[in-house]
Structures are given as structure tokens and as C-alpha cells.
Amino acid sequence: MAGLKADFGHYTHAIVRGIPASLAENALRTHAGEEVDLAEAQREEEAYVEVLRAKLGLEVVELPADESLPDCVFVEDAAVVCGDTALITRTGAESRRRETEEMKAALKDLNLNLVEMTDENATLDGGDVLFTGQEFFVGLSKRTNQRGAEILADVFKDYAVSTVPVLEGLHLKGFCSMGGPGLIVIGSSEPAQKALKIMQQMSDHRYDKLTVPDDAAANCVYMNLPNKGHVLLHCTPEQYPESAKVFEKLKDYMLIPVSNLEKVKVDGALTCCSVLINKKANV
């Protein structure tokens, strides 16, 4: 187990997907709100992909947008990858289930061991799955149920899996994410802080926490890359000025603010837009 933590945050590949024009009108959203500027959303996505590819040197697999799947850019929900195993999920929103088809093909091309969630009583969105390098926390939310969490536990037997009720918001990672080995970034709202307490109580491990004022800003992407060290993709000062200041205190990190102004209108977060994979050589 000790060795598994040592490569926490190491990634070689990222799977992303284009934004269909249908996102603006038809993507699911938990509350009606502002209109999505499609061109701006597409620019944000291009900038995000550019960071992964050009700045961080990952091999990026770009899947085509599908107009019949307005939410397809949010690839994280379609698969949970840990080591060389990929669990193809059964998303909580029925309209999104076909998103797994392209994802499955891409993961197969990368020679990962695929397990498909076929139980019709199970639902699981990747946005509810927080892997800490030591264990999994699975949010029980509008989109993920107990049976989904049980199947995940069955697939990734090397790790403890604990469930956390998500009482507000869409997904567990809507208010928390990993900011490094043993560091949980958490929003400051009461539901977020309650969820953190539950995680701490259930775990045998001790985690440090980094609290940010805005729950949505707690969703960030941590990587530990050769020649780059600790990397964190996080909210921009334009979007969440107070939270951005908190990230700026992280010393010895390559901090990369990434704009997410448009996708957040349809519940999209930074982790949602990629599936990160650490592919060992010659696997």
C-alpha cells in the first residue's frame, strides 16, 4: 500500500471530450440560471485542454462532441480509473448513459482492464468519487446510490471505500477535492464541513485540510508530474477572488488558474472535464 501512495497524482494521459452546441440549451442543471455563452464555454474547454497537453505534457485523447449528449464534455462521470483498472459507470441521469460508449472505446485503446457497471439498481457518477491515494470516499447524492458504491468497492478491492451523504449540490466533488497527498480542499459551507467531518471520522488516515470560502472553488485538479512537481489547476481570481487567494498560499506548487465561468452554469467543475490516467510503460 505504501508504494501506491508514492505515485499519487502521477498521470501520463487525459481523456477529454468536445462541447456540443446542445450544451447551452439542453445540459442538465440543478437550478435554472444564466444563459451559457457557448463560444466562451468552448474557449474555456480549449484552454483547459491546452494546459493538459502543452503546459503539462500529458497525452490527451480528445473524444468528439455528440449533439445528442449535451453533457458529454463532463467525462469524469463516465468512468473511474485507478491504477490500470477502469470502472465504466452507470450514470445517475438516464439521459447520460450513452456517454460511456466513447469512453469505453478510449479506455480500451489504452489497454486498461475494463469493468462495466451493469446492475440496473446501481448508479454512480465519477463526480461523486474522491480517491485520496489511500482510500475512496463516495458521495451518496442525487446521482449516486449505495449499490453503485458497493460495486466500486468490489472493483477496487485494495482500498477502503466509505460513503458520505451529499445533502446539497450535485456531487461530492462539488465542494471538495484532493489538493495533494493527504490534503483535502474543502468548501466552507456547513454541508461541506459536515461532509468533511464524516470523512475524517470514517478514515484510518489523517488528512490536512485547506478550506476555501467558495464551495465550487474547492474543486481543483492535483497532479504530481516529472519535472513539474506539485501542480494544481484551480479557480481564477475573476471567478472566486477570495478562494484564489487561499491557493496562492500553497508554496512549492505550480499553480494554474483555469477559467470555468460558463460550465459552472450547468454544474460543471474542473475535475469533471477530464479522466486522468497513469499508464505504466509497456502495460
Q: Mention every residue, 6+ apart, whose C-beta is less than 8 A from residue 71.
A: 23, 27, 28, 77, 93, 95, 96, 99, 266
To the query of whether residue 235 is one of the catalytic residues in this protein, the response is no
To the query of whether residue 220 is one of the catalytic residues in this protein, the response is no
13, 72, 82, 171: which one is catalytic? 171
Residue recorded with cell 494521459: 13
- Cα–Cα distance for residue pair 127/178, rounded to 1 Å: 13
Instruction: Report residue 250: phi and psi, to 5°.
Output: -75, 110
Give the pairing of strands 160-165 and 135-140.
Answer: parallel
82, 176, 220, 272: which one is catalytic? 272
Instruction: Report residue 269: phi and psi, to 5°.
Output: -130, 175
Q: Classify residue 104 as left (phi > 0), alpha (psi -120 to 50) or beta.
A: alpha
Nearest to 168 by CA among 132, 107, 215: 215
207 DSSP 8-state letter: -
Letter string b/e over residues 151-190, b meaning 16 or more CB atoms within 10 A of that residue's CB: bbbebbeebebbbbebebbbbbbbbbbbbbbbbbbbbbbe
Q: Give catalytic residues, as residue numbers.
A: 171, 272
